[in-house]
Structure 1
Amino acid sequence: MILPKLFVSIFNNNNNYRACFSFTSLNYINRKINTTHFHHAKVAQYQKPDWNRAVSEAEKIVGYPTSFLSLRWLLSDEIANVALHLRKLVGSNHPLLKTAKGLLYNGKNNMQAWGLIVLLVSKAAGHAKNIPDLEQDKAAGVLHSQRALAEVTEMIRTSHLVHKGLVNLQETVEDSANMLFGNKIALLSGDYLLSNSCVELAGLRNQELVELMSSAVRDLAEAEFVGPRDKQNNPLPARPRAQHEYKQFNENGIEPLVVQEALGNAQAEWTLRNVLNAGSLLGKSCQGTLKLAGHPTELQEQGYLFGKHLALAWQACLDREPFLQGSSGPFSLVCGPVMFHLQHDPTLYEEILKGKDDVNDVDYDLIRKVVNEGPGLDKTQELQSQHSQSALDVLNQLPSSDARTALANIIAAIQDI
């Protein structure tokens, strides 16, 4: 991915960050691929699921490292200049540094494996027989256009995460000069990645694919305008109200999702936020890669469902981490455990509203304690299991292969907390 190369020079004197920076490819020699073929794809049983091992094995199956971005982006003058300027932010509290650390960290709380998932789906499904030989990367078992789409997916996702590092500056903010400078870097870096992803996507010369991926970018932008926000633009849950069925998530078209109907309904609102913020991009990338391979519409739609359910299971897993024993500090107030607890006990909403003007007014330790004593964690785990199983159900429709097994292993690793 572009950010490991971009940020490694910034953190080369910081042992904490250096410890986070590692490539799974360094472990290739001493690891073996799990090539067990399941009659049905299922949670891997070879040992306790391990994220690094699952990703390392998957990389060897598709023949590429986790990062798919072309060297022409990494070696550009623009990126070199950004890396130099980012050194000035070291020691500040700008969120862009936290974003960089999250992207460098070699674990399941980053998104560096999204392009890998797209290529695994590509290889597991195969391609139509009428695809010309020149379009095929026979060594990897995918098409050149599918690899380009994997690059586009990573660039779009990374640009979104970098843009989320922007700070709404207030007059009382300390170190405003560094914050303003960090905002400029975050904005320009994110725009650079997004613009290059558009150029790469246009180069595939597939109008339907461009329309599909454009709708995913729209969803990412819309995710930032769902429900109430604090003054720093951090999301707050909507006031709880009676639950009702919300069916629109079963659709996989390019039309925008209806937001208002889901707000205040714990499961619907959580799903809406995370479909827009993650599920749409991964789902439509998986759908698009099957389109490039010449598969029928029905299978393309199953590809969307696989990516969407996998992204939602992934997010549910991450949402539970701040509530593990020994955890401390702030966390997202729209995570699954909090939203499910609000549906159970709406009185907690008054504590959350204290952060409307200043997030420091929220007593996160109190919320963590209350949520741990309620049903929110169990309901989030149930939701995680449901989406994991839905992703595996789609996987069962693909022929048995190493790529399908690798995807099952990734699902198993996501579930391991």
Structure 2
Amino acid sequence: MYTNILFPIYEELLHLDKNLKKMIGAKNPILYAAAEHLFDAGGKRIRPAIVLLVAKATNKYKIISHEQHRLAEITEIIHTASLVHDDVIDECSTRRGVNTVHKTFNTKIAVLAGDFLFAQSSWYLANLNNLEVVKTISKVITDFAEGEVRQGNNNFNYKISIDDYIEKSFYKTASLIAASCKGAAMLNNCNENVQNQFYLYGKHLGLAFQIIDDILDLVGSNISLGKPAGSDLKNGHLTSPIIFALEENEYLYNLITREFKNKEDTESAIEIIHKTKALYKAQDLAEEHIQAALNALNNQYPCEACNTLKLLSSYITNRIY
């Protein structure tokens, strides 16, 4: 289904895959191998796809410029760098169906590979020669760090609110999608109102994407997640379904307080969450953000690219089924 949705930019995404490895071009063979390892594992390329679609939607002739192609590639490199660091912090052993970089090499190489990818993305970003785009995208890298610190500070904190969770999710996931959408519109010299509309589209789409990911962590398989199911829970990341479940079942407090120390604690927690309305409430929250994303598009761009952006919204919520 996903591949069918992106048919209008199929060629562009093939070109992007070829370019990613050329762009990392590390002189050090170990660094290159570590970065290449992740790109070989694939991934859905949702973020660059959105950039390419916004680029088309905001261009009178539906043409994607060289700079916008490059922005799509930069977006994927930044995302990939963040995954390398996330996997180290969360001690994940698999990602996208293959061993993580730190599992294949070691933690030191993984941290350096993530740093290297961030540095490469910054270099290519500077070469876009557009100061406003540079400012917009470079803030994302600081947002990642902010999100990671907030998440770490709230591990096993059962007092975390939905607002705290949404704010952390913005920093960790939605910020990149929002900024890259705005950047694509900026490169077409769109006015500030149009830039902000696409920023809001990306922000709400990113938040919905994260909420669905968090639901899948409790109901999905390793294949649909790209990482082991239940890993967020084990690491003490209290996501929206868990926050909602805490409102209904107090026994969850005991499991969280003892940090799932007992062998069966994680399974017990998942079982409790399934017996509450938490998953439905989290799904409703995701739907609210999808609706906000669609409202931001506001039917002002009647074209194939914009229709595809709308279809992507449906795809994101349909990943549960």
TM-score normalised by structure 2 residue count: 0.81
Mapped to 2, the partners of 1:359 and 1:297 lie a distance apart of 51
Q: Are the counterparts in 1 of residues 246 and 253 from structure 2 also a CA contact under 8 Å?
A: yes
Pick aligned residue for 1:147 from 59, 65, 69: 69
Aligned letter for 2:292? S
> Which residue in the other structure is 1:53 paired with?
4
336 and 69 in structure 1: CA distance in 2 versus 1, 3 angstrom threshold = farther
Q: Are the counterparts in 1 of residues 58 and 185 from structure 2 also a CA contact under 8 Å?
A: yes
Q: Note the 1:129-144 alignment, pairs <5 A.
A: 141-144=63-66
CA-CA distance at 1:165 after TM superposition? 2.2
Aligned letter for 1:292? L
> Which residue in the other structure is 2:165 paired with?
270
Pick aligned residue for 1:299 from 191, 194, 202: 194
Q: Note the 1:60-79 alignment, pairs <5 A.
A: 60=10, 62=12, 64-65=14-15, 67=17, 69-73=19-23, 76-78=26-28
Mapped to 1, the partners of 2:250 and 2:71 lie a distance apart of 43
Post-superposition CA distance 1:143-200 (Å, at most 9, x none): 221111111111111101111222589xxxxxxxx86951122112111111111111
Mapped to 2, the partners of 1:318 and 1:145 lie a distance apart of 30
> Which residue in the other structure is 2:126 paired with?
202
SS where residue 158 of structure 1 aligns? helix
Pick aligned residue for 1:354 from 258, 269, 294: 258
> Which residue in the other structure is 2:232 paired with?
332
Mapped to 1, the partners of 2:240 and 2:313 lie a distance apart of 19
Q: Are the counterparts in 2 of residues 66 and 112 from structure 1 also a CA contact under 8 Å?
A: no
Post-superposition CA distance 1:382-410 (Å, at most 9, x none): 01111111111222343211111211222
Mapped to 2, the partners of 1:410 and 1:218 lie a distance apart of 27
Mapped to 2, the partners of 1:85 and 1:64 lie a distance apart of 21
Mapped to 2, the partners of 1:86 and 1:302 lie a distance apart of 34
Mapped to 2, the partners of 1:84 and 1:296 lie a distance apart of 42
Aligned letter for 1:143? S
Mapped to 1, the partners of 2:113 and 2:193 lie a distance apart of 37
341 and 53 in structure 1: CA distance in 2 versus 1, 3 angstrom threshold = same
Higher mean displacement: 202-211 or 58-67: 58-67
206 and 83 in structure 1: CA distance in 2 versus 1, 3 angstrom threshold = closer
Mapped to 1, the partners of 2:112 and 2:267 lie a distance apart of 36
CA-CA distance at 1:412 after TM superposition? 1.6
Mapped to 2, the partners of 1:70 and 1:222 lie a distance apart of 27
Q: Are the counterparts in 2 of residues 146 and 289 from structure 1 also a CA contact under 8 Å?
A: yes
Q: Are the counterparts in 2 of residues 145 and 292 from structure 1 also a CA contact under 8 Å?
A: yes
What 5-or-longer segments of structure 2 have no aligned partner? 92-101, 223-227
SS where residue 142 of structure 1 aligns? coil
CA-CA distance at 1:72 after TM superposition? 2.8
Post-superposition CA distance 1:257-305 (Å, at most 9, x none): xxxxxxx22x212211110101011101111111121111111111111
Q: Are the counterparts in 2 of residues 162 and 186 from structure 1 also a CA contact under 8 Å?
A: yes
Pick aligned residue for 1:220 from 133, 144, 168: 144
Q: Are the counterparts in 1 of residues 221 and 229 from structure 2 also a CA contact under 8 Å?
A: no
SS where residue 231 of structure 2 aligns? coil
Mapped to 2, the partners of 1:352 and 1:405 lie a distance apart of 43
Q: Are the counterparts in 1 of residues 82 and 144 from structure 2 also a CA contact under 8 Å?
A: yes
Q: Note the 1:285-324 alignment, pairs <5 A.
A: 285-324=180-219
Pick aligned residue for 2:53 from 117, 120, 139: 120
Aligned letter for 1:81? I
Q: Note the 1:35-50 alignment, pairs <5 A.
A: 50=1
Q: Note the 1:77-96 alignment, pairs <5 A.
A: 77-78=27-28, 80-82=29-31
> Which residue in the other structure is 2:268 paired with?
366
What 5-or-longer segments of structure 1 have no aligned partner? 1-49, 88-96, 128-137, 170-177, 230-234, 241-263
Aligned letter for 1:201? L
> Which residue in the other structure is 2:157 paired with?
238
76 and 399 in structure 1: CA distance in 2 versus 1, 3 angstrom threshold = same
> Which residue in the other structure is 1:132 paired with?
none
Q: Are the counterparts in 2 of residues 329 and 365 from structure 1 also a CA contact under 8 Å?
A: no
More helix by share: 2
